Amino acid sequence: MALTTPADGRTTMDDITALILDDHAAFRRGFARLDDAADVGQQRAVWEPLALYLEIHAEAEERILYPHLVRRGGPDADEETEDAIGDHNKIRDAIAASRTHEIGSDAWWKAVWDARRENTEHLGEEEDEALPDFRRHATVELRAELAQQWLAFYAEHPSGAGLTFRDKDPERFVAKYTK
């Protein structure tokens, strides 16, 4: 994880949105590595940790970021959150589909590229809409507090330990955290 220091002396570890962007960069690199995977062994070595990382990241966002966006975001926060939860569901579903096929098979590649396409769309929307909305409406102190929760979440769930990756109903999710 890169620890850049802006002019005010903070590091990326002081802001949940920067930590999320670090994850996004890692996902893009992971999918690029998958492009270069020359055989089934390399494909497995890249895909399995990437798929797990995608699932852990979605769970972390759903537990830490999105409840606060719904409560503190702008007028589009509910819609942004519903869309993000729906995107996470599509990514999880594509990952689950990939696990039902032989690595390297056409059906496996289709599931992997479905996950990639959904993830790419999700990252763009989140980076262009949800994260800027959160930055505009959350205090620097809240962003730092959530960054610490984010880091603790990853430490508490190495390799996804204790997590169950299940789809969530986007509307029910938003209703649970509505302002």
pLDDT in tens, the chain (179 residues): 444 444 444 445 689 999 999 999 999 999 999 999 999 999 999 999 999 999 999 999 999 999 999 998 888 989 999 999 999 999 999 999 999 999 999 999 999 999 999 999 999 999 999 999 999 999 999 999 999 999 999 999 989 999 999 999 999 999 999 86
Output phi, psi for 163, to 5 deg: -100, 145
Model pLDDT, residue 58: 97
Model pLDDT, residue 14: 85
> How far, in Å, CA of 126 to CA of 26, rounded?
15
Which secondary-structure segment (H or E) carries 25? helix 16-36
> How far, in Å, CA of 53 to CA of 44, rounded?
14
| Residues in CB range of 84: below 8 A, 6 or more apart | 61, 66, 122, 125, 126, 130
Which domains can be identified in the chain, with CATH numbers? Answer: 14-158 (1.20.120.520)
Q: How many CB atoms lie within 10 A of CB 15?
A: 21
Ramachandran sector of residue 151 (left: φ over 0; alpha: ψ -120 to 50; beta: rest): alpha
| Residues in CB range of 30: below 8 A, 6 or more apart | 46, 49, 50, 53
Model pLDDT, residue 13: 64
Model pLDDT, residue 144: 95
Model pLDDT, residue 143: 95
